[in-house]
Amino acid sequence: MRLKKSSCVLMWNVLCIHIDRRLALLLVVVRGPHRSQNRKTHGNWCSAMGKTKEKPKKARSRTRGGLSPDKYLAKPQQRKLLSFVKAQADLARARGSKRAIVDELICLLLIEAGLRADEVCCLRLRDLPVCHGKDSVWIDNGKGSVSRTVEIPRRLAKLIRRFCKSCRGKASPEDHLFVSSKGKPLCYMTLYQKIRRIGEKSGIGKLYPHMLRHTYATRLYAVEKDLLFVSDQLGHSNVTTTQIYAKTDSESRRKQVEKIAGQ
């Protein structure tokens, strides 16, 4: 019985597909799956074929002692930073410009109040001494959806009132403290670039917002060594997180080291 031409063509196509699949499987066995298709599949194939050995997982390194020296400012660096931003702000006031005045207040909120960068960006006038009359800053819905009161020096409270009067005189209590030239709230990247530029111009070098927060925490703990107060000021959910500042730039530890130097 002779098959029709269409049936022969159909059988031939099925045979070709079957052969193509066999060849594809053979190619996978010889060369392995393509890396770009599935990295996990490729890795499993390599292990099964004995092509590579799995790399042992590196143990997570642990840190003992305090912060690494490049994560906070030493006292001479602190004085250098504060004198630089004050000089620039005074010059801006004399010229009638605002940029350096904004930079000064941002730096002080980071290094003398220990605020996070995004908390500085989210500050509204209602959260500040100019509205509630207290020498403190209210952080509404901070990290972890936690609100808190941050006590600030009287000098900083006075500077905030002065800034609001001269630069945000027409703003309402619901308005943000720092805004762009277009009236939008200050964003994190703009703040980050400001601090980085201040570090370069002041001669300090590498500087970023969280470095100033670390510096604040280290300075604050050194005053009364009250770890719970430092934890509350920083907004830490667990005091264990704050313990690293008790081991950073410690005068008592330095005294012990200096004593053996003269022996």
- Candidates 116, 176, 194, 219; catalytic one: 116
User: Sign (positive/negative) of CA torsion 66, 68, 72, 78?
Assistant: positive
Give catalytic status of residue 176 as yes or no: no
| 73 phi-psi bin (left φ>0, alpha ψ -120 to 50, beta other) | beta
Cβ burial, residue 169 (10 Å; 0-12/13-18/19+)? exposed
Give catalytic status of residue 192 as yes or no: no
- Candidates 124, 148, 161, 210; catalytic one: 210
Cβ burial, residue 155 (10 Å; 0-12/13-18/19+)? exposed
- Helix, strand, coil tally for the chain in percent (to 5): 60, 5, 35
Give catalytic status of residue 132 as yes or no: no
- Candidates 194, 213, 214, 219; catalytic one: 213
Give catalytic status of residue 34 as yes or no: no
d(CA 137, CA 214): 18
- Calculate the alpha carbon distances from 232 to 151, 181, 213 in Å: 10, 34, 14
* 84 and 154 Cβ atoms separated by less than 8 Å: no
**Nearby residues of 255 by Cβ (< 8 Å), 6 or more positions away:** none
- Candidates 42, 93, 132, 143; catalytic one: 143
Give catalytic status of residue 219 as yes or no: no
* 222 and 249 Cβ atoms separated by less than 8 Å: yes
- Candidates 72, 216, 221, 245; catalytic one: 245
Q: Which residues are catalytic?
A: 116, 143, 210, 213, 236, 245
